[in-house]
Amino acid sequence: MALRMCVRLSKVAPRLWWESSVLRCAFVPHGTTYPAGFINTRRLCTIPELWCCSRQFSSVPPNTDVTYEQLRKLLADGKSVVIDVREPWELREYGSIPGSMNLPLGQVTKALQLNPEEFTEKYGGKMPQKVDNIVFTCLRGVRSKNAISMASELGYKNVQHYPGGWQDWAKNEHQN
């Protein structure tokens, strides 16, 4: 396992060498002290901590959350694709955000690799392009967070999620 960890880190370490979080986390020997102001002042991480540090360099953008108000504006502008990653029976039982497209989480990776005609035929909406702003949503924001990772790995750059999901949407709509 440690060997696999080293191999994984060797792929990202050269291009991330100057990232302070990598340097602080991974390359400072335990108990080492440095002059004041030196960036590397943290102890050496254990393997699990090192794994956690390396995960922060995924392709997922750092700020991916969308608020209720932001989502309403994105839907009104029509410049974003809103994808609900719940199962179809959940949409029938609980409801869905108007203007959203249903693409179950288990199908996200495969669906985003289809050609546009197949995507439209299967999911009833235009396939998002890699440069489009995509907002994923679900019931409570857990599955939509996973969908961000899947889309990012496929090269989609502008991916976000609505952490409140359908529950927050329904609560806010009921108040208005």
Enzyme catalytic residues: 138
* Tokens linked to 167: 């529950």
Length of the chain, please? Answer: 176
- E strands, 71-167, are 80-84, 101-102, 133-137, 159-161
> What distance in Å separates the CA atoms of residue 100 and residue 114, rounded to the nearest whole number?
19
Q: What secondary structure does DSSP assign to 29-89, as a single string?
A: -TT----TT-S--SPPPPHHHHHHHHHTTSSS-S--B--HHHHHHHHHHT-EEEEE-S-HH
Instruction: Give which of 58, 85, 12, 60 is closest to 157, Cα–Cα.
Output: 60
> Using N-to-C axis directions, what is the helix angle for 47-55 and 2-12, rounded to 10°?
30
